[in-house]
Amino acid sequence: MNSVVCIAQVPDTEARIKIADGRRIDETGLKFIVSPYDEFALEEAIRVKEAKGGDVTVVSFGPDRVQQALRECLARGATKALHIKGESGSADALGIAKTLAAAIRSVPHDLLFFGKQGVGTDNSLVGPMVAELLGYPQLNVVTHLEVGEGKITAHREIEGAEEILEASMPAVITAQKGLNEPRYASLKGIMAAKKITIETKTLPDLGLQESDIHHQRVTVVALELPPEKSGGRKIDGGDAATAAKEILKYIREEAKAL
């Protein structure tokens, strides 16, 4: 049972975002991490490998810094890594999906894992787009997965409910928090990862036209920070009844919520 896990490297969620030239984030001094939802995707793929054997190939499209993220995934238990070099920041979600789909075609796979969204760009688009480009079923926002013979069963989170879906393989799964508890890299894992060569490819290697990937369909024309909130009134809540009365007054008169 072979799995591919597509990962995105994103700014640390603790980081403050600064803007460069009004269009993109300033990467100076910014710490990058594996997108948190991708960690659940990776963990699930490793568990499938541990139960059924096979490879876990991590794939990422981006500048050279993404090799660090791929290395971290290898340390946690992925067995192969593929880096598609390019400025993923100037590609829209479909451009990224086309790139990943083209790369995945040459990697043996039964299951394709993604995080349900890349934390930061927060698009939630790439996984289902890859599913469409490859003609696979998609199981989106998955909190539980069972891999059987030739088919999988997944629990999908929807508003106030949960769907149980059954799909044939190959299939695309996008991971939600709660799917599992991701492991940390062990020292042994870190040492073993150093011996694995990260394969690299370019867009032309994949038979793709740069012009179909970059600056197409959806382009960012401006990036700005939200207006700084100054904080409002602060009151002493020492007396609970008085505080409750004040809050109620605010809710009724200003929020007009009752």
CB nearer to other proteins: pick between 63 and 89: 89
CB nearer to other proteins: pick between 65 and 252: 252
Query: Could you tell me the smallest distance in angstroms from the CB atom of residue 172 to other proteins?
Result: 10
Query: What are 160's two structure tokens?
Result: 């106030």
Residue count at the site for other proteins (CB under 8 A)?
88
CB nearer to other proteins: pick between 53 and 232: 232
Query: Measuring CA to CA, which residue among 9, 172, 33, 5 is closest to residue 88?
Result: 9
Query: Measuring CA to CA, which residue among 183, 48, 165, 157 is closest to residue 111?
Result: 48
Kindly identify the residues of this chain, within the stretch 95-154, that bind other proteins according to CB under 8 A: 97, 119-129, 131-133, 136-141, 143, 153
Pattern of binders to other proteins over 31-60, x per CB under 8 A? -----xx-----------------------
Instruction: Please state, in angstroms and rounded to a whole number, the distance separating the CA atoms of residues 73 and 69.
Output: 6
Cβ within 8 Å of residue 170, ≥6 positions away: 109, 110, 111, 112, 134, 136
Kindly identify the residues of this chain, within the stretch 153-192, that bind other proteins according to CB under 8 A: 153, 156-168, 171, 176-178
Query: Could you tell me the smallest distance in angstroms from the CB atom of residue 52 to other proteins?
Result: 21
Query: Could you tell me the smallest distance in angstroms from the CB atom of residue 143 to other proteins?
Result: 8
For residue 195, count CB atoms less than 10 angstroms from its CB and return exposed for 0-12, middle for 13-18, buried for 19 or more: exposed
For residue 146, count CB atoms less than 10 angstroms from its CB and return exposed for 0-12, middle for 13-18, buried for 19 or more: exposed
With CB under 8 A as the contact rule, the residue among 198, 210, 214, 216 that binds other proteins is 216
